[in-house]
Amino acid sequence: QAQLVESGGGLVQPGGSLTLSCTVSGNFFAIRGVGWYRQAPGQERKYVASRAFDGWTNFADAVKDRFSISGDLNNTLVLQMNNLKPEDTGVYYCHAEIHHGDYTSLKDYWGQGTQVTVSS
């Protein structure tokens, strides 16, 4: 099993910055990728950004010029969010794809979620 622990988030004014962290731990074979999704009130959960085991990093069009990822996939990954907008408001969930046993077994894990509110 794997565990995801998130930290960060909070309340910020438009144009401000916030940082989210996600730490993956547990007993497993390997990590395929780690990323974030967000869910605004009354909406479905949507993809934000991710980093794969080979370093390939991807961002949703809505955030690609404002968000960045740093850190270590096998330790703590950090999502830096700059120039935040009210539409960035929502609960942000860390997501990980984990191999168990070998590379043919893959399972999804989710963090507990952290609130990000962008408001003046």
21: nearest Cα among 3, 9, 37 = 9
Q: In whole angstroms, what is the distance from residue 32 CA to residue 34 CA?
A: 7
Using DSSP, state whether 53 is helix, strand or coil: coil
Q: How far is CA 66 from the centre of its chain?
A: 14
Q: What is the pLDDT of residues 23-74, one digit of tens each?
A: 999 999 999 999 999 999 899 999 999 999 999 999 999 999 999 999 988 8
Q: In whole angstroms, what is the distance from residue 3 CA to residue 111 CA?
A: 8
User: Cβ(35)–Cβ(67) under 8 Å?
Assistant: no
What pLDDT is stored for residue 51 in this prediction? Answer: 97
14: nearest Cα among 117, 115, 120 = 120
Q: In whole angstroms, what is the distance from residue 90 CA to residue 37 CA?
A: 10
Q: What is the pLDDT of residues 100-118, one digit of tens each?
A: 988 889 999 999 999 999 9
